[in-house]
Amino acid sequence: MFRLFFTQSIITVLLTIRFIPVYLASLFLKKDERALYFREWFVRIVRGALYLTHTQVHTENNSFLHDGTIFVTRHTHVLDMHIFLALLGPHTIPVVYPLKKYKALLRIWLRHMGAIDVVRNNKEHQMYGESNTKSVALHKALKTLKKRDSLLIFSESHSGLWEEFYLPHAGFVHLSYASQSAVQTLVVKDMNKVLCNGFSFGSNVVTVHFRKCFFPESGFDEHVLLSTEHKVKEKIQVRTIQIELELEK
């Protein structure tokens, strides 16, 4: 547990120390460049913390890594978002649950980083009304992909190691069809083992596996969606048209 505590502590201290200087410096940038500037510093801070705790992040089969990709994974660890962003770089924008659910420091950074928060059900909508609804979040996500930035989505529809998606209405599927962006599934290995070990024993390597990469032109029906082909295509068509109409507004 010491490595995890030390890593979290370093990240917290550096995020605290750097916030005001980064914020003041960002005021001299154009508005549409400020979020990227904050993400660049967030990535530097996390990479620095991993370096100081002798934690290495290796990748496996990352040949599909490119701009404008929808990265999909499961939320399995308190630091997985930090590690994924440090690996994928500042042009990847996280899609997260309502910002008010995060601790104050991380919430402030995520807001300035341009993270897209979204309410997932009616209960969250009542509690966190200031967060984005699903339609607004889809609208913002599409704008992000059209600028060739990437998205990091922690999807409840992703079964992780088995590389399957079991909800036909999963938002990233419709995003992929609407934006013609690839979906890259990610699986992280040994996160708990490494971060819960001390410094003197055990592995210090976290491995991120780039699993199957799905492209909208190749279709999700055969590999991903457990539904009949014509129903899935019909649903995706309707949702895509709705998203495009919202963008035109």
Tell me the per-residue pLDDT of 113-170, one tens digit each, with 9 for 90 and over: 999 998 877 888 888 888 888 888 888 998 999 898 999 998 764 444 444 444 444 6
Ramachandran angles phi, psi of 227, nearest 5°: -160, 170
Contact 188, 76 (CB under 8 A): yes
Which DSSP state fits 55? -
Q: Are the beta carbons of 97 and 117 closer than 8 angstroms?
A: yes
Q: Which domain holds residue 111?
A: 2-248
d(CA 158, CA 154): 8
186-221, pLDDT tens digit by residue?
888 777 677 665 554 456 888 888 877 777 655 554
pTM of the model: 0.81
Contact call for residues 70 and 109 (beta carbons, < 8 A): no
pLDDT at residue 106 tops 80: yes
Q: Provide the domain count of the chain.
A: 1
State whether residue 158 is helix, strand or coil.
strand
d(CA 145, CA 153): 13
For residue 88, which amino acid is it? L
The per-residue pLDDT for 221 is: 47
Angle between helices 2-26 and 104-112 (to 10 degrees): 50
Between CA 198 and CA 224 the distance in angstroms is 39
pLDDT digits (tens, 9 = 90+) for 32-65: 999 999 999 999 999 999 999 888 888 887 765 6
DSSP states of 80-142: HHHHHHHHH-TTEEEEES-GGGS-HHHHHHHHHTT-EEB--SHHHHHH-TTSBPHHHHHHHHH
